[in-house]
């Protein structure tokens, strides 16, 4: 099978400009002000996040990659031959390669990501390296309903969901439960869900991971304002905001904020949004779940926890969840 035949046309269900505008206006009209973290990932935001993943302070990626490398064979044994692999938030496609190399003749790989350009580039690269693997990219907000592409061949195929990177922590616990329920409906009875979840740890490790010395995470956060200016015609002065990372122990989460450095008004179409000096826009959460806490979340979403693996330093966990048949 050549690359042209194995790589299907991208299915584009990404949020439109009207949804983006509505979310931004609604978030900036709220008190406190917020912006959905999914909009951090335009082409530039995705590129910056890839850089974050390589930073020395950012332990999650290298820790999860090492854990996946050591457990890829176990995951392949659980998935069985001819599995359909669905990755939620596929990003650069680094971690999925470890699973694809371990799986026995996967029937189909469906990468789902909100960043169209990033998704297309990653799918092209994977198609070059796995020319016999059918790949059906879907550009979508994976928290919203969508349908899986048709599976080639005949016979039963076990569906395996893959949600790495502790992205589950970007949701509130209620949102995480709702997402997991939706994923179970999409994957179907008897399927498998593999989820990466960051573990609670000392703030001296957590805070630098979200506020690196090189300023890459700050650029990633501020890029959201640049995107709003570019796509919605807003008037944010990026020099009038700074990035801030906070540990919230009561909620067991890291938070990212953009702090207004002075009293100011920001125009966006017919709207003007007033900021006091020191007022923030809350742009992202990253909840940290202990092993038992995440297992409880999974059970509340209707799964049966099957396995949980952690690294030797207890920084990160990978959960294997069964969808009851």
pTM for the model = 0.92
Rounded-to-integer distance, Cα 246 and Cα 244, Å: 7
- Please report the domains of the chain, with CATH numbers, ordered by start residue: 3-12+58-200+289-322 (3.40.50.150), 13-55+202-287 (no CATH)
Tens-place pLDDT, residues 176-205:
999 999 999 999 999 999 999 999 999 999
- List the alpha helices (DSSP H) in 80-162: 94-102, 116-129
Whether the link from the prior residue into 97 is cis, omega within 30° of 0, is no
User: What SS3 class is residue 2?
Assistant: coil
Rounded-to-integer distance, Cα 42 and Cα 38, Å: 9
If phi over 0 gives left and psi between -120 and 50 gives alpha, with beta otherwise, what is residue 80? left
Rounded-to-integer distance, Cα 285 and Cα 221, Å: 12
Tens-place pLDDT, residues 29-54:
999 999 999 999 998 999 999 999 99
pLDDT beyond 90 at 310: yes
Rounded-to-integer distance, Cα 187 and Cα 189, Å: 7
Cα–Cα distances (Å) from 118 to 18, 114, 123, 270, 278, in that order, read 22, 9, 9, 32, 34
Instruction: Note the Cα 193 to chain centre separation in Å.
Output: 15
Rounded-to-integer distance, Cα 305 and Cα 79, Å: 15
Tens-place pLDDT, residues 129-173:
999 999 999 988 888 888 888 887 656 679 999 999 999 999 999
């Amino acid at each position: 099978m050549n690359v042209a035949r194995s790589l299907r046309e991208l299915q584009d269900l990404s949020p439109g400009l009207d949804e983006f505008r509505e979310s931004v206006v609604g978030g900036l009209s709220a008190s406190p002000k917020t912006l959905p973290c999914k909009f951090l990932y335009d082409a530039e935001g995705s590129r910056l996040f890839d850089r974050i993943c390589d930073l020395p302070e950012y332990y999650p990626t290298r820790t999860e990659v090492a854990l996946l490398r050591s457990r890829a064979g176990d995951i392949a044994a659980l998935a069985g031959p001819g599995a359909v692999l669905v990755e939620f938030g596929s990003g650069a496609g680094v971690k999925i390669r470890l699973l694809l190399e371990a799986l026995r003749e996967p029937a189909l790989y469906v990468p789902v990501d909100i960043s169209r350009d990033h998704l297309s580039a990653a799918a092209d690269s994977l198609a070059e390296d796995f020319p016999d693997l059918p790949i059906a990219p879907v550009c979508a907000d994976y928290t919203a309903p969508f349908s899986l592409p048709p599976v080639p061949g005949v016979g039963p195929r076990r569906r395996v969901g893959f949600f790495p990177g502790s992205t589950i922590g970007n949701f509130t616990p209620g949102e995480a439960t709702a997402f997991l329920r939706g994923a179970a409906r999409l994957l179907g009875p008897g399927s498998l869900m593999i989820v990466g979840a960051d573990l609670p740890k000392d703030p001296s490790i957590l805070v630098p991971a979200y506020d690196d010395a090189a300023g890459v995470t700050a650029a990633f956060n501020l890029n959201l304002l640049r995107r709003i200016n570019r796509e919605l015609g807003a008037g944010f002065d990026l020099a009038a905001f700074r990035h801030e990372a906070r540990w919230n122990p009561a909620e067991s989460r890291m938070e990212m904020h953009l702090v207004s450095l002075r009293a100011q008004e920001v125009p966006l179409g017919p709207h003007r949004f007033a900021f006091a000096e020191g007022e923030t826009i809350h742009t992202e959460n990253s909840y940290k779940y202990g092993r038992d806490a995440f297992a409880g979340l999974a059970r509340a979403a209707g799964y049966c926890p099957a396995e949980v693996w952690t690294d030797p330093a207890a920084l990160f966990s990978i959960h294997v969840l069964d969808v009851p048949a």
